[in-house]
Structure 1
């Protein structure tokens, strides 16, 4: 129960050159087609195992929502098939199926019946639905007076009132407030522990990497990549600047991680090193130790402005800290081909024990979207150990001073 198999899935819409062409096609006894097909999705193949969590990512228009609609059966595919085992709960377009003139309670009953519940079952679940949604007396008010966040609260509460075999969530959660987003993701994580299969569409990199076992990247209606969430998100990040005629390469590291390098190559990182105060190279760093990140950059073309950015990511690929020389007021101006620059970045390694990686970016501004000379994931990997600090939890060393007085 909970397995999903997508085979050769495709969706196309008929497009007619004029408004009369459709009528002519209908009336033509020769059945001569007068349209052409516009493919939104084509040749999509993947399988999701019971209990697995898969994230689906891609730019707007890549076909993510269309894919989910075909998986849930609200849209029929042009080619291919979808097979799902077990009961499915889906949260797609916000408030989809809600009638604006009916109350939240009435809509909850209707939505529950669409999910396959009997009226008696919904009545038994209503106290839990009301408690989780936390919209108070609005439950008996027309949905037209709801904010988008309130609609999302009610829709999510109904869809997850009972643990489904398969839970499909589109971007709807992004409209909620921070409190309810945390609450919703806690419920999703609990369902996962109990064996629910999850399909999650989100632009939230942290949500994909923290919840999902695997990610699928859609691009222009095709399945561009699938694999470990961090590697797929890194490739997606590189694609965002793809209009610059840049190269994108991915190579497997010895530790099994996938390194993504993208950019035009007009400037590149030629060397990177983490050292201590005496310039000794470090692979292992003590919590709070003073370190230098030394980055050497080679210039291969004349550039009006060069910005170096770096970020530290934890073992799950979550961003711990990042900045760049533009934000620090130190961009390089009018650099020439053949020049080399060495950046010395000093900071205390106030990190929790664990494995970390450094990402480097060479750009013209504070982002890589406009001119991406080089973006390099896993430019450097190092470990942090706790040698002499009191035990603490988390990825940051924020040593407090605590005072206690009698109240």
Structure 2
């Protein structure tokens, strides 16, 4: 059995304040001194990461994500527990990687790579690749102080990945870069993963987490709240963000083998959901481009000022392909009485690529479930789209008319 590349056992981190500096020094020397103030940002963190895994770390601001990464990389020491790393770690934890603002990009590249443990000849062997990947042009020979934040990210990522590490850690820094450079970075990350590199990614970009990671860990108030597939963890995180006093978050093993998340205060609830074809027959398999209707029934369990139903179509990774609601259709329901029932119908063409899709539903009091979340239900139903002969490729089907005119001097009519 392959040993984990990273093992975090019982890790906690407390920031302590002492009445006198001498008390702090004595505590560092192993002499027990009671602090005047103690704030725990992480408590009892336990997980292991296998070689080649891609793990996303998610959580609200202040949940302890950045602190955990600093402990893993050794730039900060844990208060309790142990961290074992099997291999070399390369990390981008903050903008600039500690660059010297007066050094040029080239000088900083040599300095940063040297601090990572590489010697002069090793760095000289990859400096041209660093320069090429960063695409800074003449700025590579200019001081970092004239760089934009995006340019600093380009250089930092190019240096951090010049040598393939066993573990690559990226903490939000890529969100600063432009779309083109983000694509380059994720392409390199995917290439490293194929070669066995383990990835730990902190990001608020759901699409990036779902497309790259095969596991996610949710931190909440300094503890691990959920550890599982990105879809399961991000659904739970979404519910947690919207949760208010009196709301419940429920997770259920779905027949598909995935985990369903249901949240809300239950003042209104989904009673049924089904997909129908153009003949009015309930279906679980539909053909690309064919018209369908999503029918939902709901019941109010309290008097409500407003009731809105929304739906989202998600692919097998949990990425949203499309979503809308009755608020945007100007069909919100006002002055709802407890016990009332409602039927909703959403008609659309199944312009999706072949594959399995799920429907998420949300009953709320406004345009978003963040206002009044009555019930949010992921995996409300699953259906399959099949291609019966439409000539296209991709995740969405866009019927296209093609005009071709032979001869460059002739214009295509409009």
TM-score range, shorter chain: over 0.9
Secondary structure at 2:44's aligned position in 1?
A: strand
1:13 aligns with 2:15: yes
Query: Matches of 1:2 and 1:114 in 2, distance apart?
Result: 25
**Segments ≥4 residues shifted beyond 6 Å:** none
Q: Which residue of 1 aligns with 2:412?
A: none
Is the 1:283–1:382 contact (alpha carbons within 8 Å) kept by the matching residues of 2? yes
CA offset at residue 330 of structure 1?
1.5
Structure 2 residues without counterparts, runs of 5 or longer: 409-414
CA offset at residue 96 of structure 1?
2.6
Is the 1:2–1:86 contact (alpha carbons within 8 Å) kept by the matching residues of 2? no
Is the 2:104–2:141 contact (alpha carbons within 8 Å) kept by the matching residues of 1? yes
CA offset at residue 2 of structure 1?
7.2
CA offset at residue 36 of structure 1?
3.4
Aligned length: 402
Is the 2:4–2:48 contact (alpha carbons within 8 Å) kept by the matching residues of 1? no
Is the 1:14–1:36 contact (alpha carbons within 8 Å) kept by the matching residues of 2? yes
**Aligned-CA RMSD value:** 1.7
Q: Which residue of 1 aligns with 2:119?
A: 118
| Deviation by residue 1:343-369 (Cα, 9 ceiling, x = unmatched) | 111001111111000000111122212
Query: Matches of 2:127 and 2:287 in 1, distance apart?
Result: 53
Secondary structure at 1:190's aligned position in 2?
A: helix
| Deviation by residue 1:67-125 (Cα, 9 ceiling, x = unmatched) | 00000000011111111111111011111310111111111111001111111111221
CA offset at residue 323 of structure 1?
0.9
Q: Which residue of 1 aligns with 2:259?
A: 258
Q: Judge which range, 363-372 or 284-293, deviates more.
A: 363-372
Structure 1 residues without counterparts, runs of 5 or longer: none
- Superposed, 1:209-220 pairs within 5 Å as 209-220=210-221
Query: Matches of 1:194 and 1:121 in 2, distance apart?
Result: 20
Change (3 A) 1:361 1:89: same
- Superposed, 1:215-364 pairs within 5 Å as 215-364=216-365
Q: Which residue of 2 aligns with 1:42?
A: 43
Query: Matches of 1:23 and 1:10 in 2, distance apart?
Result: 23
CA offset at residue 24 of structure 1?
8.0
CA offset at residue 245 of structure 1?
2.2
- Superposed, 1:61-72 pairs within 5 Å as 61-72=62-73
CA offset at residue 15 of structure 1?
3.3
Query: Matches of 2:400 and 2:128 in 1, distance apart?
Result: 43
Q: Which residue of 1 aligns with 2:184?
A: 183
Q: Which residue of 2 aligns with 1:396?
A: 396
Q: Which residue of 1 aligns with 2:20?
A: 22
Is the 2:97–2:112 contact (alpha carbons within 8 Å) kept by the matching residues of 1? no
Q: Which residue of 2 aligns with 1:202?
A: 203
CA offset at residue 130 of structure 1?
0.7
Change (3 A) 1:26 1:219: closer
Q: Which residue of 1 aligns with 2:92?
A: 91
Query: Matches of 1:2 and 1:184 in 2, distance apart?
Result: 25
- Superposed, 1:145-184 pairs within 5 Å as 145-184=146-185
Query: TM-score under structure 1 normalisation?
Result: 0.96
